[in-house]
């Protein structure tokens, strides 16, 4: 190759120019990164003097009685996941096992000496709480990813589309059914879009939400629709009651959507009282509310899959505090004694001050925490999930399918059981019912 005059100099000039360009891109990139970081949401500190109602000195749970000790998802219609009348503590002795023959994604409810539970492939069971034997069962052929609800001798259950559970934006294929709790006889059935949310029963109304972005209010006796309200996006979470005094005079229900919006709807008419949103993360937008809200102290507590925990005013919808908890938050919260408990996919259980949002403690777990915790007799029960979040873009801790009891006073794990995954346990006055991947264990306190 023959060099011409000036060629080396020209090459040097272009080399310097290229280096300068790369340096400029790097500087701009750092600047953009800093700018993006500056635009990411900040944590919001709460206050005990703003939209916070301290609990009474003596707590009475009207829903708790010998007939229906755990009648709905989250125990009560506020979804607090705490029955103060139950005092079971480990060690436990296994009395029986009930094998559902498929995945149990949501916990059972307990009433009338029966445990009611649906499995993924659409079989629904009424199980004798004394023996673990099947009293009656249904084969619906539809996927189930929700807890049922019990009220006045009737069990209400919601179902998705036909098994094997197609995913997408489906406008039909789901249904809600009411069955006689004693015999299993069908009282009514309402077809609608796939329903992934657990029914909420308040007096004579059943509230459910569906994939078509609609919330439905059904007559509990007949299934007739009283109202439906369309929200901004698909709904996979469940509705929670806001009592009239907390909602500003009229009872309301609150529910989150896949659009990252939390709503309060008038319980009687379905009119929207307020709407609030999760953080808008620059570059990814808003993520969805998988978790069902918990309502206490005049506030709505709910986690988002963006990894943040939020507290909104039950009356106003105002954001009262927000904390970055971890990589993902799928668990609904347990709430008691002015403390809010959640779990994260990167393997932590966290306790927040309900008034201020201040983190009281954080305990690392052996794996990702997916299902909502249960609080009983000073112990917080959580399950770890072996495969949850492994295909996500953020961290999810690998660990066993197991259940743990954490002493909330000492933050120590005091008991563990080699089964779990999505939900820890529910209970009645006799025993606890621990949920494994496809098995329910009847455990007696020793």
pLDDT in tens, 122-143: 999 999 999 999 999 999 999 9
* Mean pLDDT, residues 188-197 taken together: 97
Determine the average pLDDT of the residues in 59-64: 48
Beta carbons within 8 Å of 397's beta carbon, 6+ residues apart: 345, 346, 347, 365, 366, 367, 368
- 2, pLDDT greater than 50: no
Three-state DSSP class for 179?
Answer: strand
Position 25 scores a pLDDT of: 42
Q: Which CATH number goes with the domain that contains 50?
A: 2.130.10.10
Q: Is residue 386 part of a domain?
A: yes
Residues 6 or more apart whose Cβ sits within 8 Å of residue 385: 367, 368, 369, 370, 371, 399, 401, 420, 421, 422
Residue 377 to residue 388: CA distance in whole angstroms: 28
| Residue 213 falls inside a structural domain | yes
In a domain? residue 16:
no
Assess if residue 352 is contained within a domain. yes
**Which DSSP state fits 366?**
S
Q: Is the pLDDT of residue 22 over 80?
A: no
Residue 397: half-sphere exposure toward Cβ, Cα within 13 Å: 22
The CB density around residue 38, as the number of other CB atoms within 10 Å, is 9
Using 50, 70 and 90 to split pLDDT, how confident is the model at 223?
A: very high
Confidence band, pLDDT 50/70/90 cuts, at residue 281: confident
pLDDT > 80? residue 23? no
Report residue 189 as tokens.
Answer: 């059935």
**Helix then strand then coil, % of the chain, to nearest 5:** 10, 40, 50
Residue 15 within any structural domain of the chain: no
Tokens of 200: 């909420």
Q: Is residue 28 part of a domain?
A: no
pLDDT for 244 equals 97
Closest residue by Cα to residue 398 from 371, 427, 368, 361: 368
Is the overall model pTM greater than 0.85, yes or no? Answer: yes
- Contacts of residue 205, defined as CB under 8 A and 6 or more positions apart, other chains included, come to 217, 218, 219, 220, 226, 267
How far apart CA 122 and CA 128 sit, in angstroms, is 19
Q: Which of 71-80, 164-173, 259-268, 434-443 has the lowest mean pLDDT?
A: 164-173
Q: Please state, in angstroms and rounded to a whole number, the distance separating the CA atoms of residues 291 and 257.
A: 10
User: Is 8 a member of any domain?
Assistant: no
Count of structural domains within the chain: 1
pLDDT band at 19 (very low <50, low <70, confident <90, very high): very low
Q: Which residue has the tokens 């709790």?
A: 181
pLDDT band for 58, please (50, 70, 90 cuts). low
The range of the structural domain enclosing residue 363 comes to 43-445
Lowest average pLDDT, out of 22-36, 183-197, 305-319, goes to: 22-36
With 80 as the cut, is the pLDDT of residue 16 above it?
no
Name the average pLDDT for the chain. Answer: 90
The answer to whether residue 30 sits within a structural domain is no
- Mean pLDDT computed over 245-261: 97
């Amino acid at each position: 190759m023959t060099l011409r005059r000036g060629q080396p100099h020209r090459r040097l000039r272009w080399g310097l120019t290229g280096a300068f360009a790369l340096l400029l891109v790097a500087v701009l990139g750092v600047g953009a990164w800093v700018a993006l970081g500056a635009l990411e949401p900040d944590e919001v500190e709460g206050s005990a003097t703003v939209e916070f109602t301290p609990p009474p000195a003596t707590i009475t749970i009207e829903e708790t009685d010998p007939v229906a000790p755990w009648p709905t998802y989250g125990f009560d219609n506020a979804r607090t996941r705490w029955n103060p009348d139950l005092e079971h503590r480990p060690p436990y002795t296994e009395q029986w096992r009930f094998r559902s023959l498929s995945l149990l994604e949501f916990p059972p409810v307990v009433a009338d000496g029966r445990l009611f539970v649906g499995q993924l492939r659409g079989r629904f069971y009424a199980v004798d709480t004394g023996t673990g034997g099947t009293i009656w069962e249904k084969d619906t052929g539809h996927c189930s990813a929700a807890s049922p609800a019990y009220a006045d001798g009737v069990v209400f259950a919601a179902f998705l589309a036909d098994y094997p559970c197609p995913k997408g934006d489906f406008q039909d294929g789901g249904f809600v059914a009411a069955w006689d709790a004693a015999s299993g006889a069908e009282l009514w059935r309402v077809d609608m879009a796939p329903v992934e949310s657990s029914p909420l029963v308040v007096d004579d109304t059943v509230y459910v939400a569906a994939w078509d972005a609609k919330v439905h209010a059904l007559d509990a006796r007949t299934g007739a629709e009283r109202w439906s309200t369309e929200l901004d996006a698909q709904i996979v979470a469940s509705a929670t009651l806001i009592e009239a005094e907390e909602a500003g005079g009229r009872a309301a229900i609150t529910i989150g959507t896949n659009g990252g919006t939390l709503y309060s709807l008038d319980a009687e008419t379905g009119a929207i009282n307020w709407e609030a949103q999760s953080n808008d993360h620059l570059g990814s937008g808003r993520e969805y509310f998988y978790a069902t809200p918990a309502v206490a102290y005049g506030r709505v507590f709910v986690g988002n899959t963006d990894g943040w925990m939020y507290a909104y005013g039950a009356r106003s919808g105002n954001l009262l505090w927000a904390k970055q908890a971890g990589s993902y938050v799928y668990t609904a919260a347990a709430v008691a004694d002015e403390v809010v408990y959640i779990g994260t996919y990167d393997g932590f259980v966290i306790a927040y001050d309900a008034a201020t949002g201040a983190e009281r403690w954080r305990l690392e777990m052996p794996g990702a925490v997916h299902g909502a915790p249960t609080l009983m007799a000073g112990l917080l029960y959580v399950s770890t999930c072996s495969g949850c979040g492994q295909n996500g873009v953020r961290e999810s801790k690998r660990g066993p399918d197991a259940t743990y009891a954490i002493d909330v006073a000492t933050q120590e794990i005091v008991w563990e059981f080699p089964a779990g995954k999505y939900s820890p346990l529910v209970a009645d006055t006799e025993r606890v019912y621990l949920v494994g991947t496809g098995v329910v264990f009847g455990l007696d306190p020793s």
